[in-house]
A and B are shown apart, each in its own frame.
Chain A
Amino acid sequence: MLRASWKSLLGRKLRLLMSAFAIVLGVAFVSGSLIFTDMIGTAFNGIMNGSVADVNVQAKGSGDNVETSVVREISPEVLAKVREVPGVQSAYGSITDQTTYLIGKDGKVLASQGPPSLGMNVIDAPAFGHQPGLVIKSGRAPTAWGEVAIDPGSLTRSGYQLGDTMKIATTGKEATISAKIVGTALYGSQASTGGATYAVFDTKTAQRLFLGGKDAYMGLWVTADQGQDVDQLATAVGQVLPSDLEAVTGEKLADEINKVVGQATGFITIFLLVFAGIALVVGSFLIVNTFSILVAQRSRELALFRALGASRAQVRRSVLFEALVMGLVGSTLGLLAGVGIALAITAIFKQIGLDVGGAGISLAPRTILASYLVGLLVTMAAAYFPARRASSVPPVAAMTGDAMTGKNETGRRVALGSVLAALGFAALLTGLFWSGAANRVTWIGLGALGALLGVAALSPLLGRPLTWALGRFYRKAFGTVGQLAELNADRNPRRTAATASALMIGLTLVTAMAVLGNTAKVSTHDAISKNLRADYLASGVSYAGFSTTVGDEMAKVPGVASVHRLRFVQGAFDGQRATLRAIDPGGFDKIVAQQLQAGSAADFTKDTVIVDAQEATDKGYAVGSTQQLTVNGRTVPVKVVGISAKSEDGGGIGGTLITTDTAAALGAPAVDNLVAVDRASGADPAAVRSALDATVKNLPMVTVTDQQEYADQQAAGIDQLLALIYGLLGLAIVIAILGIVNTLALSVIERTREIGLLRAIGLGRGQLRRMIRLESVIIALLGSVLGVLLGLLFGFALQRSLADQGLTALAIPWAQLAAFLVLAVIVGILAALWPAMRAARLDVLRAITTE
């Protein structure tokens, strides 16, 4: 029996390869995501290992919470004391800033979202374990004001050469400086900076730029004597430090940093794996379909096995064996293709600024295991039902030959589909309208999944009216060829529907995202135009911080009535880590319109806080109560003076508001994230605008926008995210298209004699091709119409559930949905290209005499 299965497998190489392709794509995405994660990990490891010393002295608390940068000034006296500690070979003061932007020859910022733009002082000492520390790769180290060394990657991208003078923007009081590039530098043996940019200055310059010229440091870089136990040394160093500093070994620090980086990259991995999962679900439809068709076509052969005495289990095993081989082949190819996917992701991330550089590709055991597990499980699970059906072929079918082909949707399938769909829609409604439900988005998500699978199971029934309607149209428009196409599509509704379901899933998700995205854009636009009080806004990319001098300059522009700053401060409120919003004491409702539902904005001064309505309800904060606020490692009690009213359209700054002087007193960096500018009444808008633009001329990371431009900028961000999601969902759609190709190709093989007959009695090649194209378009439209309808429903459900997050107005992008359907027709035509070509090439005589 095994031999027979093997033979039959080899006899159907092409068909199986096409189905295996679905697995290849799905698995490739899984392995690609994992490989990419490993690559980031390796890259960051390399970077980290070079950038920490044997013992690092830093502010207490920075180790617990790397994200909330805690900064303490360390005096030269402390450095001197550390140098005296036995076992210390050398110690240097280090200064690091994360918002120092290199500006290229074209006036654009070299940095991008994500990786930091580092400014630091040069330290000529080895990193931990006596690895190379900061290494000058070319030129020399900077020694004086006006000199800088940057990383080699940035030098290439900047368009400058060594010896040229470049502009550098900082968030300090000296917002832009010019410096001659005297060299390039990298940490340790790293080949790239992982997307970060380095601006290395001499210590005096760094102190002037980042510490206001004080003779102090932010950390100490301590190198141990050869053979010195590092842990002991850390303890010894710790003993001479003031109480707000700590000494941490390099190993521990690198681990901590890696943990944080791992969390960030882990999110990317999960994000990618979600789409890999979607691709695999869609792929499994393709596999189910292929095996169903193959089993149907082989029913005679299988019946012959049964007639010759093979047991049901043997027949089932033989089909599952084929699935196993296919899964193995598909997983192996997928694993290898994953390398390509990883490289592609790397290239894409490099485009958006996250350069993992020359980190080698490695196939971790986890990647290999996950690839094979996923590939085999999906294939075997998908082949199980066709295999069971195969084993139910009665031996007598060997004689009659058409036992399988006539079978259509069974009652069980309809029942299962109905139950799934009903449960799904019920869950969806629960999430939508039962406000008491604990987790409405979860209800809606599970409901959507159930509804999707249920509708997929029911699609042979649900698709009928559509097929019928298309059939009427086809007969009118394409005559007999159209009629034949429709009848062919209707010949095996389950097969047609299963093929269409794959496309349906993809389009459901795309449509839901399109509805949600459009709603978000329209809602954002509405909220901005309704609530934004300021005439102009100055902001950085992704709200990156910029120098307070921007606000100062803007306040001086003639025609500007007032300037309001918003700062994002990392810290904790009531023990919960939070991004606090720091605004000027009188600025509560100056940037955007917002109101207090309790308390008074007049009381909003130093060491007070305004919490938002949701949080006040959840945590029971009352006006007048006192909570703990932590910023920069320092904790102070603050009084709740107000609760901001929940705005129905999601307006308002939101979050926990503190005053800028509260933040400054705790040592938060004085960096603005947003500056709102009010124009004086009567001032010439054009003149004010050009004057404002002039203030940020040298700070390319800051842009000035008016209300309309700001709204457009927000919308563009949503569009970018949508484009990314569309791109990833495109994978599922490619698999669905392959499914159509596969089904059509198998149908052509199945109907070889019929095609021969049609050709013999005068159907032209063009007509035959059109017939197959039209059938393909039916499948594609079936899937996309169902998908768009479901997607609309899900989009609506998501909008309802997110209404209190600001997605207030459901905005359906009709033109886009129409475009999806037009695309579906094109997809149908494209999918039919190859099967139609094959059919048209069939030799008439050979086709009609085929057994």
Chain B
Amino acid sequence: MSVRPATVGCMGLFQRRSQGRHARGNTPVDPVVPPRPVNPRERAGDAQAVDAKAVATPATQPAQPAQPARPPRQPRPIGPAAAATRDLTKIYGQGDAEVRALDGVSIDFEQGRFTAVMGPSGSGKSTLMHCAAGLDAPTAGEVRIGDVEIGALKDKDLTELRRDRVGFIFQAFNLIPTLTAHENITLPVAIAGRQPDQEWYDTVIDTVGLRDRLEHKPSELSGGQQQRVACARALVSKPQIIFADEPTGNLDSTSGAEVLGFLRRSVDEFEQTIVMVTHDAVAASYTDRVVFLADGQIVDELLEPTREEVLRTMAHLDETVRARRVGATATGV
């Protein structure tokens, strides 16, 4: 895996995408030295442990855009998992109507990585995200966020865990319509009864470029702006992991690229861990790793994916799945 080729497909898209990559190249993180030891934004299971000074470090860095382009990226050393599942199984319905949405999925979402979850409709990718994020209760198996096994948690603790350690970006309807952009962004912190970390907040706002829209209500923002507000909200509480469910699904390609670029930067610059469910190969190509699901099982995985690789894998996957389903039907009858 070397330089992202910007040679095939829609030029405009790739143009923007390469800009995104370019920005990624400007990260202060030394690609050779593993970032974790030098970057104190380590949060081994405790989101609160992050201190403001450490956070401030990356905040000042993006302001130096003139750094030379990053050499071909080395595979990032894999840190401990921000979230993980073991033998995760989710069954809907009973008897004949039984659907195994997830069938023994074991996966680690490593810290500081951007992971995409892909798969055909009904493959269980959304269910995986919902279970991993503590929104849905698994039928069997384990889910851990940091060092916490969430299956054992009561609703109250689970809610607090979501509030303090998990960020969410949904496909649509991410914002409370009565609150301004600023209030939406600080909502999880405010719900917890805390004050947002002002420096970190400023960093996030500048990164998403919403400084002049902060007092606007969601109805006064474009779709892309709304999603960027949602990203800022997810980031501002410094969660251990952000789950994004088709965050660009409702956006045009320009706005989508903005949002994806922003997510990429938050991984590169702020060591954020992000898991994104998508069916868009372009979106997947922004990530470090793509996990493919079919019929509730992990069937393939790509590291440092390109759009073409993703498309190829998807096409192959579709065939395999179709073949498998046909086979199953044939044997079943």
Contacts and interface: CB of A to CB of B under 8 A. Distances in A.
Nearest to B161: A762
Contacts of A481: 191
A754 B176 CA distance: 6
Contacts of B174: 757
Given A480-B190, A484-B178, A767-B191, A762 B173 contact: no
A480 B163 CA distance: 14
Contacts of A765: 155-156, 159
Question: In this complex, which of B159, B167, B187 has the most chain A Cβ atoms within 10 angstroms of its Cβ?
Answer: B159
Interface string B156-169: 10011011100110
Contact of B191 (A491, A753, A762, A848): A762
Contacts of B188: 761-762
B187 A759 contact: no
B319 to A, nearest CB: 30
Contact of B163 (A483, A484, A488, A762): A762
B160 A762 contact: yes
A491 B178 contact: yes
B160 A764 contact: yes
Given A481-B191, A845-B136, A848-B170, A758 B176 contact: yes
Given A845-B130, A845-B136, A848-B170, A761 B187 contact: yes
Contacts of B190: 479-480
B299 interface: no
B54 interface: no
B17 to A, nearest CB: 29
Chain B CB count within 10 A is highest, among A488, A759, A764, for A764
B91 interface: no
B5 interface: no
B193 interface: yes
Contact of A761 (B130, B162, B193): B162
Contact of B187 (A480, A491, A764, A766): A480
Given A479-B193, A762-B192, A757 B176 contact: yes
B173 A757 contact: yes
Interface in A747-763: 753-754, 757-763
A487 interface: yes
Contacts of B163: 761-764
B233 interface: yes
Contacts of A762: 159-160, 162-164, 188, 191-192
B96 to A, nearest CB: 23
B72 interface: no
Contacts of A766: 156
Given A479-B190, A844-B135, A761 B178 contact: no
Given A479-B190, A487-B179, A764 B170 contact: no
Nearest to B131: A845
Interface string B77-99: 00000000000000000000000
Interface string A471-490: 00000000111011001101
B12 interface: no
Contacts of B130: 845
B65 interface: no
B327 interface: no
A480 B135 CA distance: 22
11 contacts: A487-B178, A758-B187, A760-B162, A762-B191, A762-B192, A764-B156, A767-B191, A844-B135, A845-B130, A848-B170, A848-B173
Given A757-B174, A758-B176, 20 more contacts: A479-B190, A479-B193, A480-B193, A483-B183, A484-B176, A487-B179, A491-B177, A754-B176, A754-B177, A759-B159, A761-B168, A761-B188, A761-B191, A761-B233, A762-B164, A762-B191, A762-B192, A764-B191, A844-B135, A845-B130
Interface of A: 479-481, 483-484, 487-488, 490-491, 753-754, 757-767, 844-845, 848
Interface of B: 130, 135-136, 155-156, 159-160, 162-164, 167-168, 170, 173-179, 183, 187-188, 190-193, 233
- The list of the 5 closest CB pairs from A to B, nearest first, reads A762-B163, A487-B178, A480-B190, A764-B159, A845-B135
